[in-house]
Amino acid sequence: MTMTVQTTKTVFPAQAASKEYAASLDEAEPLTKMRDEFIIPSKANLATKKLAKPGLSPESSIYFCGNSLGLQPKATSKYMEAQLDTWASIGVCGHFTDLEDSPLSQWQLLSDQAAESMCKIVGAEPAEVAAMGTLTMNLHLLLASFYKPTETKRKILMDWKAFPSDHYAIESQIAWHGLDAKENMVLIGPDEGQYEISTEKILSYIDQHAHDAALILMPGIQYYTGQLFDIPRITKYAQERGLVVGWDLAHAYGNVEIKLHEWDVDFAAWCTYKYGNAGPGAMAGLFVHERHGQVDYSDGEDKPKFRHRLTGWYGGDRSVRFKMDNKFKPIPGAGGFMVSNPSVIDLTTLCASLSVFDKTNMTDLRQKSIKMTAYLEYLLLKDTTDETRQFQIITPSDPNARGAQLSLLLKPGLLHKVAERLQDAGIICDKREPDVVRVAPVPLYNTFSEVWQFVEVFKSALAA
């Protein structure tokens, strides 16, 4: 069970630091055409405080912030118009009517439409994926089902610098069971002076707490450093020692190749507004391995046996949902974990973004991403030394241990100056106090030429 085909470091020719070379990479890259699927914010619109129509200014910004919020696909307005027209023209009948020429299925089946596309991004069977809720809400629902502390096994292992929402969710779940969070949250961090957490260290924590830990929840990609963890190896190792294994894929979904079913992951959750491009606060997704979603009717149709979860009407099988007899028969698979009637507006923007992913595949996207981050790293480090460089790349240099993001730790006092210069140049990146710039060239819509331009501005800002 392996995570990826091992990738060697890219070697660039002597002329690679030129604008012309960057343009040649774009010309040779088949995925460059995918950029046309998106609306790129213009520099003029970024500089104004007035609501403006997109695309009126010819000069596009450089948008390297897909790790916080992805760009809007052009398909979004088309899909939204179809949904609004459906609602306006047939009202409640939209729940059960498939309309010709619409990109959307009837509302009752729209979450299934999303799941069928989304499962390909996370390497799962369609029945193992559900489109629902938000990331933290889904984590709570999953933990309510999978975190079953006992007298002896009650701890949860997690990343030392987990995103606050994950930290809060785990802390409150432990407290919900009447346990002390400080005693039962085990934070796994890097060695002193390091930023990368080695797989061996994570495995050592699993060994250390195999007797008293119930569950491990880790990020697929660490949001701050951009480190991609070895999901299959950690999953297998933890399960062999009796731990339930969950993954937060907020920064991995739509970013790297994932094979949740093959890797035998117990559960996972993700948002869709970062590399997924479904819109701010968009509907999220979750994964439940097929072995946990089975429904057993061996005791009779009226006595289904299934994994306990917090149930809701929309998790009930559609064949009996409208009998309204209060006899819950869950949908087999992840669909049985659904709670409420999902927002069709949210599902519409999600399906629009998924229509773009349906035109490509994660293998090709990942290969372009590896090339882009390698080129970014090469340009950043070129003609500098550890002594002269005013920044440190804290993202792993191994292409197999990172996604589309490089995190640049600046020397103290430089962040605001550099961020202001980037903003003035129409370059959008994410900054994290006190000293980190997170740079994320997204293979769906960013180019090698933009990488080259970014480095030119970034180094100029450092020298100013």
- Delineate the domains of the chain, giving CATH numbers in brackets: 19-60+362-463 (3.90.1150.10), 109-355 (3.40.640.10)
Is residue 303's pLDDT more than 70?
Answer: yes
What would the two tokens of residue 374 be? 């390698």
The C-alpha atoms of residue 135 and residue 165 are separated, in whole angstroms, by 9
Q: Taking a C-beta distance cutoff of 8 angstroms, is the pair 393, 379 a contact?
A: no
| Average pLDDT of span 361-372 | 98
- The reported pLDDT for the residue numbered 5 is 44
Q: Is 136 annotated as a binding residue?
A: yes
Whether residue 434 has a cis bond before it, omega within 30° of 0: yes
* DSSP bridge pairs for 423: none
- The reported pLDDT for the residue numbered 324 is 84
- The reported pLDDT for the residue numbered 8 is 67
User: Residue for token digits 């802390």?
Assistant: 171
- Other C-beta atoms closer than 10 Å to the C-beta of 68 total 16
Q: Is 341 annotated as a binding residue?
A: yes
What would the two tokens of residue 194 be? 């390091």
Task: Using the CB atoms, write b or e for 357-390: b if 16+ within 10 Å.
Answer: beebebeebbbbbbbbbbbbbbbbeeeeeeeeee
Nearest Cα to 352, choosing from 64, 93, 130, 110? 110
| Average pLDDT of span 17-41 | 96
The C-alpha atoms of residue 450 and residue 368 are separated, in whole angstroms, by 14
Run of H or E residues at 77: helix 75-90
One DSSP character per residue, 269-303 reads EE-SSSTT-S-TT---EEEE-GGGS-EE-TT-TTS
Instruction: Please provide residue 285's backbone torsions phi and psi, each rounded to the nearest 5 degrees.
Output: -140, 160
Angle between helices 199-208 and 231-240 (to 10 degrees): 10
One DSSP character per residue, 147-159 reads ----SS--EEEEE
Enter the pTM of the model: 0.95
Confidence band for 3, pLDDT divided at 50, 70 and 90: very low
Confidence band for 379, pLDDT divided at 50, 70 and 90: very high
Nearest Cα to 229, choosing from 401, 393, 7? 401
- The reported pLDDT for the residue numbered 56 is 57
What would the two tokens of residue 39 be? 């609306």
Q: Is 164 annotated as a binding residue?
A: yes
The C-alpha atoms of residue 393 and residue 438 are separated, in whole angstroms, by 10
Mean pLDDT of the chain: 94
Q: What is the pLDDT of residues 124-134, one digit of tens each?
A: 999 999 999 99
Nearest Cα to 162, choosing from 225, 214, 213, 204? 225
CA distances from 17 to 22, 26, 375, 440, 453 (A): 8, 14, 9, 19, 11
- The reported pLDDT for the residue numbered 51 is 86
Q: Is 313 annotated as a binding residue?
A: yes
One DSSP character per residue, 407-425 reads EEEEPTT-HHHHHHHHHHT
Q: Is 56 annotated as a binding residue?
A: no
- The 3-state secondary structure of 341-399 reads CCCHHHHHHHHHHHHHHCCCCHHHHHHHHHHHHHHHHHHHHCCCCCCCCCEEECCCCCH
Confidence band for 321, pLDDT divided at 50, 70 and 90: confident
Is residue 4's pLDDT more than 70?
Answer: no
The C-alpha atoms of residue 58 and residue 43 are separated, in whole angstroms, by 9
Q: What is the pLDDT of residues 147-201, one digit of tens each?
A: 999 999 999 999 998 889 999 999 999 999 999 999 999 999 999 989 999 999 9
Q: Is 102 annotated as a binding residue?
A: no
Q: Is 146 helix (H, G, I), strand (E, B) or coil?
A: helix
Is residue 349's pLDDT more than 50?
Answer: yes
Q: Is 30 annotated as a binding residue?
A: no
The C-alpha atoms of residue 151 and residue 153 are separated, in whole angstroms, by 6
Q: What is the CA radius of gyration of the chain?
A: 23
User: Residue for token digits 């006190």?
Assistant: 434
Instruction: Please provide residue 406's backbone torsions phi and psi, each rounded to the nearest 5 degrees.
Output: -115, 125
The C-alpha atoms of residue 214 and residue 179 are separated, in whole angstroms, by 13
Confidence band for 22, pLDDT divided at 50, 70 and 90: very high
CA distances from 190 to 2, 161, 187 (A): 23, 10, 10
Q: What angle do CA 205, 206, 211 make, to 5 degrees?
A: 110
Q: Is 116 helix (H, G, I), strand (E, B) or coil?
A: helix
- The reported pLDDT for the residue numbered 150 is 96
The C-alpha atoms of residue 310 and residue 177 are separated, in whole angstroms, by 15
Q: Is 407 annotated as a binding residue?
A: no
Q: Is 166 annotated as a binding residue?
A: yes
Residue 20 makes CB contacts below 8 A (sequence gap 6+) with none
